Structure 1
Amino acid sequence: MPNKTAKPAAKATVAKPAAAKAPAAKPAAPKAPVAAAPAKTPVAAKPAAKPAAAPKVEEKKVVTQRQGFKANEFVVYPAHGVGQILAIEEQEIAGAKLELFVINFIKDKMTLRVPTAKVANVGMRKLSEPALVKKALETLKGRARVKRTMWSRRAQEYEAKINSGDIVAIAEVVRDLYRSESQPEQSYSERQLYEAALDRLSREIAVVQHSTETEAVKEIEAQLAKSPRRANAKAEAADGEADSDADGDTDDTDGDDTTVADEAA
């Protein structure tokens, strides 16, 4: 008998188109050797910012002579007495040139700068000539001249003479305010003015005569002792006391230590 179970016909298989093959990968190009990075050059540390320089104020230029005065010369500055010029400087301040005398006052431990253009105004002068010093010493031998005015007014006149820088005027103050041991003591203000005048006078005499101040003071006091008034001081003091007893008061109306003999002089 025939086989009834017939096998189904085989299905036709449709062939799938073959997928395109990917192109073969190209071999990788050999890598160029990488150069080693150069070592970093150390960076120098930045210098710290310099502090701003102070503005230039002045420039000094030393000169040796101006207005007839020289460096190292002794001069008389009326307000302070005898000093020595240490230098003559030319300074530039804010664009303007200025010449200065640098004066040292050794005894006062002071240095003063005076514009050369103002020496005439302040009365600065050279040391006195020996002949003028002799005249000042002769003045000390004269009679004291005391005005009959209030002490305050006389004190102003004495001070003006001391600060005038005139050696003869200063000698007059020394003469008028000097008191010997036999005379009444001075008041405090009189003593101050006397010592100031004596100091100015003795300093200049010492420099002019190339001696010490102590020697100059002795010479001044020796001249004062030669005054006829000093020689007869005791007699005049006695006469003054007698006049005072007779009148019942003194002629010293302004309350200072001026004696009757002073007023008469």
Structure 2
Amino acid sequence: MSKSKKLDFSVNEFVVYPAHGVGKVVSVEEQEVADVKLELYVIAFEKDKMTLRVPTHKAIDIGMRSLSTGDEVAHAMKTLKGKAKVKRAMWSRRAQEYEQKINSGDLIAIAEVVRDLHRTDDQREQSYSERQLYEAALERLTREFGAVQGGDEDGAARQITDVLMSRVVAAPAA
């Protein structure tokens, strides 16, 4: 790594990769691919037992970003508190939109999916695909909230659940 180019992310920094969520940059390495030297971020996704190598010059273009700030987390929490917005479109179209939001890596968009797909015990049963999307979005949200709060995913999960449940309690009065 003789280049003096400033890297966008540093080793041991938590980052968000749009399609996979929160990971940790474990190293920056050089590899030769088809006679071209590439500088790569090596990102570990502990929970998924996965390692990803991302060319350093492409990281920002593909949407890799630093963890959200406290303000962005607060905005996502506010989004969770809002009223669910469910379009009257066919489920396949809505499912596609939810999937795109989850894979965008955008914390607010992911919070919208969690808000819109959250069900309480007294509401109608979720379909398998609804539950899958909800759980994927909830996991992404929880992991990022937890990482922002210093690694406390359990605390983040409780916080998110409390917000979602407070919405339910407040709903009949509205």
TM-score, L = length of structure 1: 0.61
Does the aligned pair in 2 maintain the 1:78–1:124 contact within 8 Å? yes
User: Deviations 1:27-56 (Å, cap 9, x if unpaired)?
Assistant: xxxxxxxxxxxxxxxxxxxxxxxxxxxxxx
Q: Does 1:132 align with 2:67?
A: no
Paired AA for residue 231 in structure 1: V
1:231 aligned residue: 169
Does the aligned pair in 2 maintain the 1:83–1:106 contact within 8 Å? yes
Once the two structures are TM-superposed, the CA of residue 117 in structure 1 deviates from its matched residue by 1.3
Paired AA for residue 72 in structure 1: N
RMSD across aligned C-alpha pairs, in angstroms? 2.2
SS in 2 for 1:70: coil
1:22 aligned residue: none
In 2, distance between residues paired with 1:174 and 1:65? 39
Q: Does 1:153 align with 2:93?
A: yes
The structure whose Rg is larger is 1
Does the aligned pair in 2 maintain the 1:90–1:99 contact within 8 Å? yes
Q: Does 1:192 align with 2:122?
A: no
1:202 aligned residue: 142
In 1, distance between residues paired with 2:170 and 2:35? 66
| Structure 1 residues 188 and 99: CA distance shift in structure 2, 3 A | same
1 or 2, which has the higher helix percentage? Answer: 2
Select the residue among 7, 32, 43 that pairs with 1:92: 32
User: Which protein, 1 or 2, shows the higher relative CO under an 8 Å CA cutoff with sep ≥ 6?
Assistant: 2
1:26 aligned residue: none
What count of residue pairs does the alignment treat as equivalent? 174
Structure 1 residue runs of 5 or longer lacking an equivalent are: 1-60, 237-265
| Structure 1 residues 192 and 93: CA distance shift in structure 2, 3 A | closer
Select the residue among 5, 28, 48 that pairs with 1:108: 48
Runs of 4+ in 1 over 4 A off after TM superposition: 61-66, 232-236
Does the aligned pair in 2 maintain the 1:62–1:88 contact within 8 Å? no
Paired AA for residue 132 in structure 1: E
2:114 aligned residue: 174
TM-score, L = length of structure 2: 0.92
Q: Does 1:82 align with 2:13?
A: no
Further displaced range: 62-71 or 96-105: 62-71
> What is the percent sequence identity of the aligned residues?
60
